Amino acid sequence: MNVSIELYASLMKHLPPGKSRFRRDLKVDDGLILNRLIEQFHIKPEEAHLVLINGHYIDAEERDDRKLAAGDVVSIWPPVAGG
């Protein structure tokens, strides 16, 4: 199935070459677990501070069980804040 990943801020270094600033479209196994996708990009669990699927927050505890669906967009930030 096709999903997309978006890596921001210091995690951008894990993006393979591509056109978009943050996003890569990928083919992955059906029902891939979120944390396995994160591992494929060599992102350590503590680096994946804020993880969204389609804009919705995914708690660290859910990430080992959460199965991706076709078309999902996974967005990941390291620890950041502002205001």
Partner 1 sequence: MSWTRKILRVNLSKGSCTSEPLNMEWAKQYLGQRGLASKYLSEEIDPKCDALGPDNKLIMATGPLTGTMASTAGRYSVICKSPLTGAIACSNSGGFLGAELKFAGWDMIIFEGKSEKPVYLLVQDDKVELRDASHLWGKTVWETDDILHQTHQDPQLRVACVGRTAENGCLYAAIVNDKHRAAGRSGVGTVMASKNLKAVAVRGTQGVGNLEDAKTFMAAVDAGKGVLAENAVTGQGLPAYGTQVLMNVINGVGALPARNMRDVGFEGAENISAEAMAEPRASDGKPNLTTNAGCFSCTIACGRISTVDKTHFSVKDKPQYHGASGGLEYEAAWALGADTGIDDLDALTYVNFLCNEDGFDPITYGATVAAAMEMFEEGVITTKETGGIELKFGNTEAFVAVTEALVANEGFGPDLALGSKRLCEKYGRPELSMTVKGQEFPAYDPRGIQGMGLTYATSNRGACHLRSYTVSSEVLGLPIKTEMGDAEGKPELVKAFQDVTALVDSAGLCIFTTFAWGMDNIAPQIDAACEGDWSVEGCMEAGERIWNMERMFNTAAGFTGKDDNLPPRLMKEAIKSGPTEGQVSRLDEMLPQYYQIRGWTEDGTVTKETQQRLSL
Residue numbers of the site for partner 1 (CB under 8 A)? 6, 8-10, 12, 21-22, 46, 49-50, 52, 54-57, 59, 75, 77-83
φ and ψ at 31, to 5 degrees? Answer: 70, 20
Nearer to partner 1, 29 or 54 (CB): 54
| Distance between CA atoms of residues 42 and 56, nearest Å | 22
- Taking alpha carbons only, the member of 40, 25, 36, 22 closest to residue 72 is 25
Minimum gap (Å) between residue 40 Cβ and partner 1: 21
Query: Nearest approach, Cβ of 29 to partner 1 (angstroms)?
Result: 25
